Amino acid sequence: MQTPSGHPVESTPAKRLVVLVSGGGSNLAALLAAHDDGAYGARVVGVLTDNPAAGALELARDAGVASVVVSPKDFEDRAAWNDGVAEAVAVFRPDLVVLAGFMRILAPSFVRRYEGRLINTHPALLPSFPGAHGVRDALAHGVKVTGCTVHLVDDGVDTGPIIAQVAVPVLDGDDEHALHERIKVAERALLVETVGRVAREGLYVVGRKVTIG
Ligand code: GRF
């Protein structure tokens, strides 16, 4: 970086993001689309998946980002898999770890290690409709407004302090797929914006209340 008069100035290095994904990876794709901009403040340095067939692997390859598969099938038990995930993530020396459609529960030791730096995105307005079927459960409940939540991860399932949320209306005739696709449009934008702000400005957490900056 240079000043207008050509003098070099020190720029803050981009925060190192590791993204954990289980599926198609449209949220990962959105982060990869943002991270080349030097002003974004964060860069995806590694992708980890539990699923050898995850579309995320191709996205990472195309972006020139290192990726690793840590499949439970390759481990004796859950504890060994958890250790495998922890070791693989640590290799990337992350500043922030982002769970972007990662459909497994991480061990409390992992959560503690990255406390305050472990971020999840969820396709519902938490604390309503946590768990793997947030979109289906909101629809079944008959809510008129749902949305998405970016939050810090704690030991529970989708229970950590909320960083940011966006509402998405439920439309007459929505099925789970249509509603989820609409939520995902909002979710990608929210995740990219929130992760960038956290990387650039930092987080301040008091109890359950999170402030960026
Ligand atoms: C997202 O809605 C995420 O919140 C949920 O699964 C979806 C993953 O989408 N858990 P993608 O793999 O990023 O396209």
The string of pLDDT tens digits covering residues 43-95 is 999 999 999 999 999 999 999 999 999 999 999 999 999 999 999 999 999 99
Of all atoms in ligand 1, which is nearest to the CA of residue 54? 12
pLDDT at 33 (0 to 100): 97
Please give the positions annotated as active site.
122
pLDDT at 3 (0 to 100): 41
Taking residue 183's Cβ as centre, other Cβ atoms within 10 Å add up to 25
Residue 172 Cα to ligand 1 middle (Å): 23
Best residue among 49, 98, 121 to mutate for probing ligand 1's pocket (most ligand atoms within 8 Å of CB) is 121
pLDDT at 12 (0 to 100): 77
User: Which residues neighbour 75 within 8 Å (Cβ) at sequence distance 6 or greater?
Assistant: 81, 84
43 CB near ligand 1 (under 6 Å)? no
pLDDT at 8 (0 to 100): 46
116 CB near ligand 1 (under 6 Å)? no
82 CB near ligand 1 (under 6 Å)? no
pLDDT at 137 (0 to 100): 98
Residue 58 Cα to ligand 1 middle (Å): 16
Q: Which residues of the chain have pLDDT under 50?
A: 1-4, 8-9
Task: Report the b/e string of 48-83 with b at 16+ CB within 10 A.
Answer: bbbbeebbbbebbeebebebbbbebeeeeeeeebbe
Of all atoms in ligand 1, which is nearest to the CA of residue 23? 12
pLDDT at 113 (0 to 100): 97
